[in-house]
Amino acid sequence: MPIKIKREAAGQGIIDQVKALSGIDVNACLQCKKCTNGCPVSGFTSSSPSEIIKKLQLGAGEELLDSEIIWVCSSCATCFSRCPMEINMAEVMDALRARGAAKPQGNMPLMNKLLLGTIKTFGRTYDLGAMVLYKAGTASYAKDLDKLPMILKKGKIALLPPHGADKKMVKRIFNNLEKTRKKST
């Protein structure tokens, strides 16, 4: 599908801000699309990680920030592990979120915030903790509760919080990100 950039919205601003926030130069992208082919969520959204990069390279402006995948990205880093140029799309997505991507309707931003909160606290994601807080925040206690025993039985999520992570280092990353964000606004 051809990528279209609105001429009136074009500009270097966002690509520069992504670089300032994430330290990533997306101009290194070769458009091999290995990231998109491995991305677990791009099939459910109207855009893909490689398309976001291409749009940044082409000078997309504010219109780019409406892309749903910026919020749907689960920061799984599959794209990063496949990328021959070591472009960390999860960090690019974080930078775009920080840059002010349009928050979608629904509860994705809440889930994103809660998962990041567990990383900040434990050094790794604690899915069950984020789920409990999500259900409290959305008053959806009963929804999908019947699936929980099967999820636990299959070991898909852990009952106890993760341990063993370098919490100090993770905290430092969050603090540095916050400082960079303040500088760029």
41 forms part of the interface with ligand SF4 (CB under 6 A): yes
Q: For residue 97, count other CB atoms closer than 10 A to its CB.
A: 17
The SS3 of residue 164 is coil
Closer residue to ligand SF4 (CB): 2 or 149: 2
Integer Cα distance of 85 and 92 in angstroms: 14
- Residues 15, 70, 87, 96: which binds ligand SF4 (CB under 6 A)? 87
Stretch that binds ligand SF4, among 15-23, 68-76, 156-164, 174-182 (CB under 6 A): 68-76
30 forms part of the interface with ligand SF4 (CB under 6 A): yes
Closer residue to ligand SF4 (CB): 40 or 148: 40
Integer Cα distance of 26 and 53 in angstroms: 6
75, 2 Cβ separation under 8 angstroms: no
Closer residue to ligand SF4 (CB): 30 or 145: 30
Q: For residue 79, count other CB atoms closer than 10 A to its CB.
A: 26
Compute the least distance from the CB of residue 108 to ligand SF4, in Å.
12
CA distances from 95 to 12, 17, 183 (A): 15, 8, 13
108 forms part of the interface with ligand SF4 (CB under 6 A): no
Q: Which residues bind ligand SF4 (CB under 6 A)?
A: 29-35, 38-42, 49-50, 53, 73-79, 82-85, 87, 89-90, 93
